């Protein structure tokens, strides 16, 4: 399975393409789409769309994962981020690629184990998990790889929800303490 992960932004959009085959995951490509701040918004959006479409045509990903917008900044920033997310998703759905969104907190929790992890922690874990010789130049690229890894984790190992404790114990008897097992017998 090949997954394209995207960390959208109007000035820098990071992307990472990972492949999972036979239980091994490797990065096929990763980079940042850099826009000039002096360019108009429509031209920035066109570049994001065009470059992602080129990446899609080259690597033919099976799945597309993108980071959702966060609301910590101002309304204008959220609006601009929404534009970048929109053209990135359009590139994926135009190529009929199944698309999934993940919150920054969800991605950090999946990769680092902590939803409040820093960008440096995410970068370190991406480098460690994928045994990269060097880290990407931009955090946006590392974040995009992390989004792809998060998606891969969700697809390959979907979180199993249990309706009650008994259902959990039935599936995971090894989780019971030895004293509890002896009382049960």
Per residue in 46-66, pLDDT (tens digit) is: 999 999 999 999 999 999 999
Total number of domains constituting the chain: 1
* Marked catalytic residue, from 7, 19, 63, 143: 7
What average pLDDT is seen over the chain? 87
Residue 181 has pLDDT above 80, yes or no: no
The predicted model scores a pTM of 0.83
Query: Chain-centre distance of CA 78, in angstroms?
Result: 19
What is d(CA 168, CA 68) in angstroms, rounded to the nearest whole number? 31
Classify burial at 57, counting beta carbons within 10 Å of its beta carbon; exposed 0-12, middle 13-18, buried 19 or more. Answer: exposed
56 DSSP β-pair partners: none
Residue 101 is a catalytic residue: no
Residue 67 is a catalytic residue: yes
H or E, element range at 14: strand 12-21
* Marked catalytic residue, from 19, 67, 101, 164: 67
CATH number for position 54: 3.30.420.10
Residue 179 has pLDDT above 80, yes or no: no
* Marked catalytic residue, from 19, 63, 140, 143: 140
Domain containing residue 29 = 2-184
Euclidean distance between the first and final Cα of the chain, in Å?
Answer: 44
Per residue in 90-128, pLDDT (tens digit) is: 999 999 999 999 999 999 999 998 888 999 999 999 999
Residue 140 is a catalytic residue: yes
């Amino acid at each position: 399975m090949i997954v394209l992960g995207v960390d959208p932004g109007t000035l820098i959009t990071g992307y990472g393409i990972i492949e999972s085959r036979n239980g091994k995951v490797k990065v096929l490509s990763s980079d940042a789409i850099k826009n000039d701040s002096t360019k108009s918004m429509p031209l920035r959006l066109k570049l994001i769309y065009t470059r992602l479409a080129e990446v899609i045509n080259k690597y033919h990903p099976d799945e597309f994962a993108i980071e959702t917008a966060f609301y910590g900044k101002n309304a204008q920033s959220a609006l601009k981020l929404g534009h970048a997310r929109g053209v990135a998703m359009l590139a994926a759905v135009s190529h009929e690629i199944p698309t999934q969104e993940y919150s920054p907190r969800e991605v950090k929790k999946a990769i680092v184990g902590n939803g409040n992890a820093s960008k440096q922690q995410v970068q370190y874990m991406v480098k460690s998990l994928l045994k990269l010789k060097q880290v990407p130049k931009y955090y946006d690229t590392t974040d995009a790889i992390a989004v792809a890894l998060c998606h891969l984790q969700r697809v390959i190992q979907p979180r199993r929800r249990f309706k009650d404790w008994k259902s959990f114990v039935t599936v995971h008897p090894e989780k019971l303490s030895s004293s509890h097992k002896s009382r049960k017998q």
